[in-house]
Structure 1
Amino acid sequence: MTMSSTRKLLEWIRSNAADGNMGGLATDLLRAALVNTAQWGGGWEELLGLLGELPADQRERLAGALAEGYPTVGKRSEPRNHVLTMLAAISHGLPEYPLADERATQLAELGRQNTIWYATRLDAVAEAELAAGRTLDPAVVAAFRRSGTDAYRHGVFADLLKKITEPVLNVGEEWAEQAMRDASTPDGQALLTHLLTATTSKPSARWEGKAATLVEALGAEQVRAHAVAWLALAGRPRTFRLAGQAYGADVNELYDPYNANALRGLAWLVSLLPPHPDTARALGALVETSLKKVTGIGPRNPKVANAGVIALSRVDGEAALAELARLATRVTYKATAKLIDGFLEAKAAALGLSREEIEELAVPSYGLTGVGQARHELGETTALLEVRGARAVLGWRNASGKAVKSVPTAVRRDHAEELKELKAAVKDIDKMLSAQTERLDRQFLARRTWAYDTWRERYLDHPLVGTLARRLLWTVDGTPAGFADGELRTLTDDPVTSGAEVTLWHPVDREPAEVVAWRDWLERHGITQPFKQAHREVYLLTDAERATGTYSNRFAAHYVRQHQFNSLAAVRGWRNKLRLCVDDEAPPATRELPRWGLRAEYWITGDGEYGEDTTESGSYLRLRTDQVRFYPLDAPENSAHCYGGEYRMWLGPDEDPVEPLPLTEIPPLVLSEVLRDVDLFVGVASVGNDPTWQDGGPGGRFQEYWTSYGFGDLTETAQTRRALLDRLIPRLAIADRCTLEGRFLHVKGERHTYKIHLGSGNILMSPNDQYLCIVPKSAATAPQAGYLPFEGDRMLAVILSKAMLLADDLRITDPTILSQL
């Protein structure tokens, strides 16, 4: 309804009211309810006010006429809402309220809505329900509260929300519903109410004082046990789903915005309680859960994540510091990562240590008494906790020393708490192993050196880090060494028992013969490295890069999935900004290298048009890649328009342009590691390795690129994979059916001979190189192939899985594959 028609309706109300024609007025109102699309504008408030000011006898007749005509508006919610809202204004103070049951039914439908459009003024209907002595359904209360958290709606619903005090928290989230069940006493309800007041960035002394008083009334241990249990439920699927979206995102993936304040308060609360390992675990999990990416939004709720970080920083003890150090390697959201870094830097300064030393000292042993192992006696049963590769494993032996597969009944019955702690330790170790693997992989560019004794304590002999460090290669006073048979040993297996200075070994400054020899050494000793080191790709300057001088085009002209690229970049320590299809500029993907005084840039731009090539929120689905450049660390930043255009350097009033550095001046280690990151971004995120894109993607635009990438020359990563397969294939059960030729692994099946590309994993089959689409599982693992020299190459697992499948192609049952054969 337009503003002019609203004014006309107001005039009709006044005219009909003056004539006492309530039937005609009701007809007009019912017609307005049908044609209105909820955009009443300012006239809606005036209309409701005018109806409520009519004399009581007129309002009573008008209410009856509206109730009689109510069925004529049909079954659509919107017209019914309008009629009920007008009835609420008309019937206020009248002894009879027509359509009370219909009002209750219509309100109940709101409980499955995320928010309520403020212009409908359905709060008037809810107020009428309360005035009639009936309570609102908790789900309806939650919908109004969520609506009230919006700055545009808060004022409209303020009066109603003041009258609603129960339930304390919004229903629909498992953690909140459990909290209300556990805290059902007056003291418990008071605590939950206090949690809702956590609306600032950090707790005030007054907030903490009141929280301490409430905790004292309930008992600190009881509060801790309940609070940790509630935190563990945060982020679980909703107990009932809501309709609607928020900025293009599924609202069911988000925290309830009303309850989110209570989650912040809950994090602050546990930091006031006596330290406990469960507290640190719960807070660390809350941070990660709150930063989980939601399509169209980004992190689920950074404010809650930041509250978790602040709480961890205030908890004393090794466990909390360990969680902060672990999160420092995992968190990529800039504001939260900065907060974590600030706390770790402050802790380091307070102890007179470097940031790196704090991260080393923060790694707990998790009860491991030796490197990667622990033994716990639980009655007549022995629990064996052991780190195997990237995972912790819990095993059991009975009184006679015989291994048993499952947890013995006596342990479950008599040692429940010890069992719970052991299972928690397994999860903690798995998470910390992942974090420490990533931290160690970044050490190549950190230029770290260690005193020998310090290094042995913090790395080689550390109960947890030692499980990784003993699978890596190091240099002791310039001599390369690896750990085998209980000793640190040289390439000739001579023991290394002392030294002065230790560094992490890297192949870039080693002779090829030495690199190959160390690969043989690792294989001879059966050592699987936690990431590529001896087999690490080395990226040396090419003639083309010497010709361009200041930039590398080695990874230019690729099309990559933007969100996957962005996530990978963040994990590898790069700073990047999502490109939106808007009139805006952004800097390139950037990795700062303060130890070297350098900044690496990877130039990228958004690709496509709004709609087909963007998400609903307007972010590009794909990027086009361009040059890699290096600048001094303090050089002004480059930027370019998000949807194309030349990069240019933005200069301040007193700044001069800075030229990119010649690639010949970049230390070989830095060049190699930066280009390796970029190779990873392209290798994982390129649309060319998507097996479902054989048609070239949207409009076939990417057909030429997909073909050239999916079956083209091998990158350094793929060449490393080829060299490994050359050694690995003879050990496979299908060795007689496999051969390596150029860029492909050839697999002879009964139906066809197949060619699997070693870079993309894409497949061609005889007799005419017809494309075969096999979509790998999201968590592909390599089939049993004996020894593997390193972990983490998912594409290797995909290629081996496809090879095993195709070598026995007569046993394939998947109809989508059979239809292509």
Structure 2
Amino acid sequence: MGIINKLKTAIGLSRLDNSLDNTEFKAVFNTTVEEYAKHSKFFYTVAFAEVPAYNNVVKKWDDEKKGEFVLFLTNVIKNNYLGYNRGVKKESDEFQMASQMIHNLFRSKLKLSETIVVTIYDSFKKNVPEKEYNKMYWWPLAGFYKQIENNFKPVEAPVAILEILNDILRFKKDTNSYYYKDQIKLEEKIKAFLFANQGNEGSIKPTYFVGEDGFQSAANALLDQQKEEDRKLWYKLVTLAQKATGSKPTQKYLNEAKAIIDQLGADKFKKVTQEWFNQVINLKETVTTHTQVYNKSEYTYNITEFLTSLNSEAIKGFVWMSSWFYDNTTVQTISKLAERCFKKIPEKGPAAAGIGNACLYTLYASKGLDGIAQLSRLRLKIKQNNTLTLIEKYIDEAAVKLGISSIEIEDLAVDDFKLKSHQLTYVFEEYTAVLAITGTGKSSLKWFKPDGSEQKTVPQLVKDKFSAKLTKIKATQKQIDQTTAAQKERFDRMLRSNRTMSIEYVKEKYMQHGLLSFAINKVIFKFSNAQEEVLAIFLNNQWVTVAKEVIDIDKYKAATLWHPATSSTNEVKEWRQFLMTNQIQQPFKQAYREIYLLTDAEVNTRTYSNRMASHILKQHQYVTLAKGRNWRARLIGAWDGGDQDTAQLLMPEYNLTVEYWVNALNADDEFNATGIWNYVTTDQIRFVNTQTNDLIALVDVPPVAFSEAMRDIDLFVGVASVGNDPTWSDSGGLPTYRDYWQSYSFGDLSEIAKNRKEILQGLIPRLKIASVASIEDKFVVVKGKIRTYKIHIGSTNILMEPNDQYLCIVPDRSKKDNSENLFLPFEGDNGLSVIISKALLLANDDKITDRTITSQINR
């Protein structure tokens, strides 16, 4: 800073130096502090509108005098720093008031001379508190730079001003600082000013991704690989992307981007941005270990980072710009990017929520319905409550624009992939490939030779000449699998609503749809008109009743997905037997759906149910399950108000909200490192009228709504209960609550377990171990060579005869599902698979080699 010292000597700054002891400044400052103290005890953020001395005196000074006042305030800050650090009230208030005054003065456009600007900066450097000396950003340098920008054009800037700017660039930035992003943004502005000063005014300054993270180097390398003329346009786009703030882009922002993209070319834009997006999709979090000394003790902690906020903002900008495009590749990439960015980082939250929200906006704003289809898919994938609310808002807004319901727009948005009979056929000269849906989330890709025989591997001709086409086919297969899986979940939830549709609508949107017809042809519908209603399923290309009577659905006006809670026990049994006899595997539980009817105890308690009360659940698992079923639930912890929560399910079709109360299990300090309780206990279930906010008597709750709410909660208990964990008791658990574990592990069967028992009664006789396996009450009993075993049908835990000794076997998730080659009338029951696996293992207990198991058996 030699040039500044020379300048000070040349022009003489004695008048300015004396201003540090200016009695007028002292009086105004003291009055300001006194006046504001009458309005507030705290000076963290000062509302200057409430301070007459500032408004009537300071604001009326000329700009040069305001600049001199800034010099005075820097001295106030320096003199009160120690008191502020120690929490001394008077010194702390004066320190904060002086700091707030400088910030406020710098927000206005001041006309300052070179002399005053140089002197202010010199005062900043001299008055940095000793401990903060290497942190010049402690001062409001962004506001100070704004004054330089306001008063000096880059090409005419004096040498001293340029020296100040270069000096700021030399200061080390703290990457862990809360203000790091602001520091980098200031640095980029200064570089742009200096770039223009070097005779480049009007030229395009090279602009890169500036955040230091795993994305930066590869992204900038890709920029450098572009042609020189294209690079200039990319610099403009990066500059614009870095200005992406707020929750949505303005139309002006999008139009500005579009103008640059048009010059560059849409294909070039999409190629580069999609490569960047894929880099983020595949980016891994980095974990750094930090050590801090406090009170002579050393503390070590980890910080997990994904993207810097600077690069997140820039990527968000490019995601917004992509809303101009609606091709399949763009929509799919944006959807994958959203899923990655909402993936949770433990103890931190979503990896990059800002980018994720931008993706949701872009999917909503893109032309056509492909974006809405992806929002529908993401709604089933993402667990965060606020994100789900945003997705639902976008789907609702899109539906309003088309004048239809949100359910209808989701129907419209499902891609049929041009499937014919649930297949796609591709021709490669003399070879043929057939892509076919085989199940929910499953499909096959088979190859056929010129003579029509099947070939097990991809033909060499296809690999050599059609590799790009093959890649697209595999991408289509993946999309089809994702769509069938998502639609299974959507139809499953549709059973909650008891939605009635016209026959014409069902035929057009479901039965004639290339993809949805695969699921619809396996579910039972209730068809009705003014005279009658009938239940029917599609079998052998015709609609038939449970008695296999063929019906003409065109004679009916309406159709509803059948819910077994609306039928008699005998009718439900008949349909279950029909599925077994005709080997029909439904994509979700319908005929075999668990049914929950009102009990006498619930009639007596009137407005609440204790059916699912007094259970101990693993909190994280419970909350994840609840969110997965579209409930609003939150983690509770060891903080004020963190001892209880009410999970809620909105059922707008019935004007109901279902509530499930849980309480923290505060025993033996059972919370994790972030204070989240490991376990919760369950309490009442209530139904609330959303229009009146009154409790509803349980007898007045519609049967389908009641059954579906209870089914969800039974799932939460059935999966998250500590009684399902075979290792919980042995690994310590909570000693006080081991009786609960024992009673749940081997107690009465829930509705889910009763359903499982019914399936096992038809399944076990078809197993190779049928001669040594049977069902007795709550157990599958297996007679091994060494001992006899009782596998509980609910918890899947095991007791060994003759003394009911507990046998701990932890399921190996990596092994093959032993039920996958057995016919089941519905897809997906992990507990059933575990029971079958254990039964097959224990039937041949003399061949078990795992010592952790044999040591228990032979004990």
**Map of 2:762 onto structure 1:** 727
The 3-state SS of whatever aligns with 2:660 is strand
Letter in structure 2 aligned against 1:817? I
Native 8 Å contact 1:168 1:193 kept in 2? no
Q: 1:182 aligns with which of 222, 227, 231?
A: 222
- Shift in Å at residue 559 of structure 1? 0.9
- Per-residue CA deviation, residues 496-524 of structure 1 (Å, 9 max, x unaligned), is 33232111111112122221111121122
**In structure 2, distance between residues paired with 1:384 and 1:422:** 10
Give, in angstroms, the shift of residue 42 of structure 1: 5.1
What is the aligned partner in structure 1 of residue 258 from structure 2?
212
Q: Look up the match of 1:16.
A: none
Matched, 1:528 2:585: yes
Residues 457-536 of structure 1: matches in 2 within 5 Å?
457-477=508-528, 478-497=533-552, 498=554, 499-536=556-593
Residue matched to 1:576: 633
Note closer, same or farther for the CA distance 1:485–1:160 as it changes in structure 2 (3 Å cut). Answer: same
Alignment match, 1:589: 647
Task: Report the equivalent of 2:209.
Answer: 168
Whole-Å Cα distance in 2 between the matches of residues 178 and 414 of structure 1? Answer: 31
Which residue does 1:772 correspond to in 2?
Answer: 807
Structure 1 match to 2:609: 552
Would you say the 8 A contact 2:363–2:375 is kept in 1?
Answer: yes
Residues in 1 aligned to 2:576 and 2:652: alpha-carbon distance in whole angstroms: 32
Q: Does 1:632 align with 2:661?
A: no
User: Which residue does the alignment assign to 1:673?
Assistant: 708
Higher alpha-carbon Rg: 2
2:475 alignment partner AA: A
CA contact (8 A) 2:636 2:664 kept: yes
In the TM superposition, residue 369 of structure 1 has moved relative to its aligned partner by: 2.5
3-state DSSP class of the match of 2:277?
helix
After superposition, what is the alpha-carbon deviation per residue over 1:284-337, rounded to whole angstroms, capped at 9, x for unaligned? 111111111222123223221110011111211232221122223333322222
Structure 1: 5+ residue stretches without partners: 1-40, 47-88, 93-117, 125-130, 135-139, 637-657
For residue 533 of structure 1, report the CA deviation from its aligned partner: 0.9
- Does the 8 Å contact 1:248/1:296 carry over to 2? no
Match of 1:412 in 2: 463
Q: Following TM superposition, by how much is the alpha carbon of 1:155 offset from its aligned partner in structure 2, in angstroms? A: 6.5
Gaps of 5+ in 2: 1-79, 86-121, 126-130, 138-162, 192-205, 293-298
Q: Does 1:436 align with 2:487?
A: yes
**Match among 232, 241, 244 for residue 195 of structure 1:** 241
Is 233-242 or 666-675 further displaced after alignment? 233-242
CA contact 2:289–2:300 (8 Å) conserved in 1: no
The aligned counterpart of 2:749 is 714
3-state DSSP of counterpart to 1:387: strand
TM-superposed deviation, 1:412: 2.5
Q: Distance in 2 between matches of 1:404 and 1:119?
A: 72
Aligned mates of 2:81, 2:740 — CA distance in 1? 55
Q: RMSD of the TM alignment (CA)? A: 3.4
1:704 maps to which residue? 739
Distance in structure 1 (CA, Å) of the matches to 2:729 and 2:184: 53
Deviation at 1:815, TM superposition (A): 3.4
What's the CA shift string for 1:603-633, capped at 9, x where partnerless? Answer: 1112226x94223222222211001111211
Offset at 1:750? 2.2
Alignment partner of 1:335 is 2:359 = no
Deviation at 1:249, TM superposition (A): 9.5
DSSP-derived class of the 1:520 partner = helix
Q: Give the stretch that moved more between structures: 713-722 or 312-321.
A: 312-321
Offset of 1:807 from its aligned partner? 1.7
2:320 to 242, 265, 268: 268
1:334-379 alpha-carbon deviations (Å, 9 max, x no partner): 2222222222222212222111111111101123123x21212122
Return the match for 2:278 from 218, 221, 232: 232
Determine the C-alpha separation between the residues in 1 that align with 2:660 and 2:582: 39
Partner of 1:147: 176
Alpha carbons 2:209, 2:314 under 8 Å: kept: no
Compared with structure 1, are the counterparts of its residues 726 and 471 closer, same or farther at alpha carbon in structure 2 (3 Å cutoff)? Answer: same
Corresponding residue for residue 802 of structure 1:
838
- Partner SS state of residue 551, structure 2: coil
Residue 315 of structure 1: aligned partner: 366
How far residue 239 of structure 1 moved from its aligned partner, in angstroms, is 8.4
Q: Secondary structure at the match of 2:314?
A: helix
Identical residues among aligned pairs (%): 35
The answer to whether the 8 A contact 1:575-1:589 is kept is yes
1:384 partnered with 2:384? no
1:23 is matched with which residue?
none
Rounded to whole Å, the distance in 1 between the matches of 2:848 and 2:814 is 20
Q: Which moved more, 1:592-601 or 1:670-679?
A: 592-601
Matches within 5 A, 1:436-455: 436-455=487-506
Counterpart-to-counterpart distance in 1, 2:300 and 2:405: 43
Q: Shift in Å at residue 282 of structure 1?
A: 0.9
803-812 or 623-632, which deviates more: 803-812
Task: Report SS of the residue matched to 2:790.
Answer: strand
Question: C-alpha separation between the residues in 2 aligned to 1:209 and 1:386?
Answer: 43
Q: Does 1:292 align with 2:343?
A: yes
The whole-number CA distance in structure 2 between the counterparts of 1:578 and 1:122 is: 38
> What CA distance in whole angstroms lies between the structure 2 residues aligned with 1:180 and 1:328?
33
Per the alignment, residue 825 of structure 2 pairs with 789
Q: Does the C-alpha gap of structure 1 residues 145 and 429 become closer, same or farther in structure 2, counting only changes over 3 Å?
A: farther
Deviation at 1:237, TM superposition (A): 4.4
Cα 1:159–1:301 shift into 2, 3 Å: closer
Measured in 2, the distance between the counterparts of 1:603 and 1:452 equals: 41
Inter-partner Cα distance in structure 2 for 1:549 and 1:570: 28
Q: In structure 2, what is the Cα distance between the partners aligned to 1:808 and 1:329?
A: 41
How many residues are treated as equivalent by the alignment? 677
Q: Does 1:326 align with 2:411?
A: no
Which residue does the alignment assign to 2:199? none
For 1:781-812, what per-residue CA distance to the aligned partner results, in whole angstroms no more than 9, with x for missing partners? Answer: 34345211111211111111111222222333
Match runs of 1:810-821 below 5 Å: 810-821=846-857
Asked if 1:257 corresponds to 2:277, the answer is no
Report the secondary structure of 1:797's partner residue: helix
Q: CA contact under 8 A between 1:237 and 1:252: conserved in structure 2?
A: no
Report the secondary structure of 2:632's partner residue.
Answer: coil
1:350 equivalent among 374, 378, 401: 401
Letter in 2 for 1:533: Q
SS of structure 1 residue aligned to 2:461? helix
Q: Distance in 2 between matches of 1:122 and 1:402?
A: 74
Q: Which amino acid in structure 1 is aligned with residue 176 of structure 2?
A: S
Q: Bigger CA drift: 358-367 or 389-398? A: 389-398
Q: Are the aligned partners of 2:664 and 2:677 in contact in 1 as well (CA < 8 Å)?
A: yes
AA paired with 2:594? E
Aligned equivalent of 1:52: none
Q: Tell me how far apart the structure 2 counterparts of residues 229 and 525 of structure 1 sit (CA, whole Å).
A: 49
Q: Secondary structure at the match of 1:429?
A: helix
* Alignment TM-score, normalising by the size of structure 1: 0.76
Query: Residues 517 and 154 of structure 1: is their aligned pair in 2 closer, same or farther, counting only changes over 3 Å?
Result: closer
Range with greater deviation from structure 2 (254-263 or 566-575): 254-263
**Residue of structure 1 equivalent to 2:773:** 738
Aligned 8 A contact 2:636 2:677 in 1: yes
Give the counterpart letter for 2:855 in structure 1: S
The aligned residue for residue 682 of structure 1 is: 717
- Stretch of structure 1 that moved more, 472-481 or 319-328: 319-328
After superposition, what is the alpha-carbon deviation per residue over 1:466-489, rounded to whole angstroms, capped at 9, x for unaligned?
Answer: 111111111112211111112221
How many Å separate the matches in 2 of 1:245 and 1:524?
66
2:792 corresponding residue in structure 1: 757
* Offset of residue 729 of structure 1: 0.5
Distance 2:346 2:854 in 1: 34
1:25-45 residue CA offsets vs partner (Å, 9 max, x unmatched): xxxxxxxxxxxxxxxx95699
Code of the aligned partner of 1:592: L
SS in 2 for 1:588: strand
- Measure how far apart 1:154 and its partner are: 5.7
